[in-house]
Structure 1
Amino acid sequence: MSLWRCGIGDCGARFRDVEAVVVHQTNEHERHECRVCGTVVPEGYFAIRHAFDEHTRAEYVRAYDADSSVVREREAVKDAVESTVDLQSVVDRLDLERPV
């Protein structure tokens, strides 16, 4: 079985399922402020999803001083997560772990 790895900074935490990675990124890492529009989102998958769902590739490249390889890498991460993730499971886990 292949493990999923958190790719934020030097974290490298490993998980059995993608849902656990997304929950970890949401709960354990600082929020990310989008350099295009200023929206604050969880770091990791949700930041990538925001960037590519809400902005053009050109806006991303300009705002993050990125090149095509960086864009392709993040698009590949987004595609890999979205081909596997059960977002309702992520929402349910986040609801269970949210402090009261």
Structure 2
Amino acid sequence: MSPWTCGIGGCHETFESVEPAIIHQTTDHRRHECKVCGTVVPDGYFAIRHAFNEHTRAEYVRAYDADAEEVRRRERIKSDVEATADLQAVVERLNE
């Protein structure tokens, strides 16, 4: 698979696998406050996961003024990460 790119803000740091990319997003970037409920989560994958696991697509669209393509893009990212990542290893690494 091709390298994973961070994509938060102007960050274009790349990683050979998804796990270091998620760890980078969690540790090297500011936290994100959910515009739907106010929960503060790590930016990147964890923010996307929070938005789509905890809220409806309609809530996301209204809160973020997002269009259908933006929703589909984030759903693809979430799906690709979850199909590829060893999320348990990420959590263990972050808890070290």
Q: TM-score, normalised by structure 2?
A: 0.97
Residue 47 of structure 2 corresponds to residue 47 of structure 1:
yes
Superposed CA offset, 1:54-83 (max 9, x none): 000000000000000000000000000000
Moved segments of 4+, more than 3 Å: none
The residue that corresponds to 1:17 in the other structure is: 17
Matches within 5 A, 1:27-38: 27-38=27-38
Instruction: Find the aligned partners of 2:92 and 2:55 in 1 and give their Cα distance.
Output: 28
Unmatched segments (≥5 aa) in structure 1:
none
Written as runs of structure 1 = structure 2, the 5 A alignment for 1:1-100 is 1-96=1-96
- Count of equivalent residues: 96
**Cα shift at 1:19:** 0.5
TM-score (structure 1 length as normaliser) = 0.93
Quote the Cα distance in structure 2 between the aligned partners of 1:49 and 1:84: 15
CA displacement, residues 18-76 of structure 1 (integer Å, 9 cap, x when unaligned): 00000000000000000000000000000000000000000000000000000000000
- Measured in 2, the distance between the counterparts of 1:75 and 1:7 equals 15
Deviation at 1:95, TM superposition (A): 2.2
Instruction: Write the letter of the residue equivalent to 1:57.
Output: R
